[in-house]
Structure 1
Amino acid sequence: MITPDSMKAELAEWNSGEGVNLETWVGCMGRFSLAVGYAAVFWPELVEFEGLILSQGFSEDAIRKLINRADYNPHSVEWMNNHLHILDIQYVGCEDASRDRLIALGNTLKEMWEAKLKWQFPEKPCKVEFYQPDDIDDLSQYQISFWQEKYEHA
């Protein structure tokens, strides 16, 4: 992973000014409970339900209602259920959120989710999208989601 520019100065101050890399910094600053929580975001539990691939924890009744609508669109249902606002990985108002950090996380999540989907559902190709808004300063709109390719134009 490429170190976001907004973190380079902080990392350079560590080790009596000799600097450290991201891995060493995490080893000094992190906690295992947070690492487990991040693992749940980075490698989500996925299930198949009514032909859809969904992040675990959805409401079966709500999904069935969407499926039974006249304007049912499986692409939209998968996208909406599986999307994550990158900013929501941390608490509301997290003071160190920045565009370059959200982009670094979004790109990394995209690669991880692609690997997870290909591994867990090799017979159901999926597309993972890391959405970056036109207004690059609207940090709340950096999002990631996925859907099955067969539903791309449904």
Structure 2
Amino acid sequence: MPRIPYENVPKPLMNCMIKTEQYLTSLNIIEKSFMEILQYYVSTLNKCAYCTEMHFKEAFAAGETELRIYSSLTWRDVDFYSDTEKSLLAWVESVSLLNDEENKNRQQKFDKLSQYFKQDEIANLTLAIMQINSWNRLVKSFGFEAGAYQVGQH
């Protein structure tokens, strides 16, 4: 049972989160399907079952293959992500795993990302990564339960 059910989350809090979502969606910096993979990957890093389920289903519904979705967990070991996508997945780790030893090379990851995106696009992609990290923390803190998410539900 959730500690704070979805419908009991304070409306101003949800409005703030949803406004950020709307802003990010309006930008169209990357394909929606790959944005869902990024959100899935962040959710797996944070071990958020609810968001992992949501973004797996949303990525699949947006046209991603199951293989590309679940292989995001091992993106360095597969050849079916573009260099642009790999640079984004590396940036996801850099933004999400702040104390990880591997992220000592944050500048190199930023420089690689800069080959594919302008500075304002990187800032907005970083906001998108921060946003899913925030959702993961809210969902885990409030105790939302995985297992029944329907595509388009939230």
TM over 0.5: no
Using structure 1 for the length normalisation, give the TM-score: 0.30
Q: Based on CA coordinates, which of the two structures has the bigger radius of gyration?
A: 1
Structure that is richer in strand per residue: 1
> Normalising by structure 2, what TM-score?
0.30
Which is richer in helix?
2
Higher relative contact order, structure no. (Cα contacts within 8 Å, ≥ 6 residues apart): 2
